[in-house]
Amino acid sequence: MKIYDISQEIFHSKVFPGDPIPKKDAVLSLEQGDPCNLTHLELGSHTGSHMDAPSHFLAGAKTIDTIDLEKCVGLCRVITMEGTVDASDIRFALSDGIKRLLIRGEITISQEAAQEMTSVPIDLIGVEGLTVGPLESPRDVHVALLEKEIVILEGLVLSKVPDGLYWLVAQPLKLGGIDGSPVRPLLLEYER
């Protein structure tokens, strides 16, 4: 069975404008005579390949530690698109009832496409970009999806994954009360 790691390496990942740059500092070092290696990490909750919790844009909403993990594991479709994704693109991609969709390519999900996802409904949407919505104003698309508790994965690396069906495994870290989490998502070849 082939496994695709579709995550970014944290310390070389792009960050959303204004987000913290990830850093690592040695606390203990074998090379310095310490009994082990131990590293202090500093990063934003939306660093690298990551998952958004509803509380990222909605006051009082679910935090990352309360995400329904069943939405993060299961059959998914990978498709390639470019430009603006509209409602008809979503209807076509989800026409067979698939609940998890990963989109490869430089795309922006339109407000109409987000509304279509909420009416289908789906469990999870994933993109390669830093945000599912327009870079200059991502709020409205996020709110539409997160109000319906649709899981959002951003910052994926899908360049080596052919279009098709896969088994997705993408759990966030259990960070209590936080608005998002880095994720190391995997795609496993799907055998019918």
* Residues forming the active site: 56
Tokens in use for 69?
């993990």
Other beta carbons less than 10 A from residue 36's beta carbon: 8
Beta strands in the chain (DSSP E): 3-5, 23-28, 38-42, 50-52, 73-80, 83-85, 100-104, 107-109, 124-127, 151-154, 164-169, 180-182, 186-189
**SS3 label, residue 143:** helix
Which H, E and C letters describe 44-85, residue by residue? CCCCCCEEECHHHCCCCCCCHHHCCHHHHEEEEEEEECCEEE
The CA-CA-CA angle for residues 7, 173, 122, to 5°, reads: 70
CA 76 to chain centre: 13
Cα 125 to chain centroid distance, Å, stands at 7
φ/ψ region of 191 (left if φ > 0, alpha if ψ in -120 to 50, else beta) reads beta
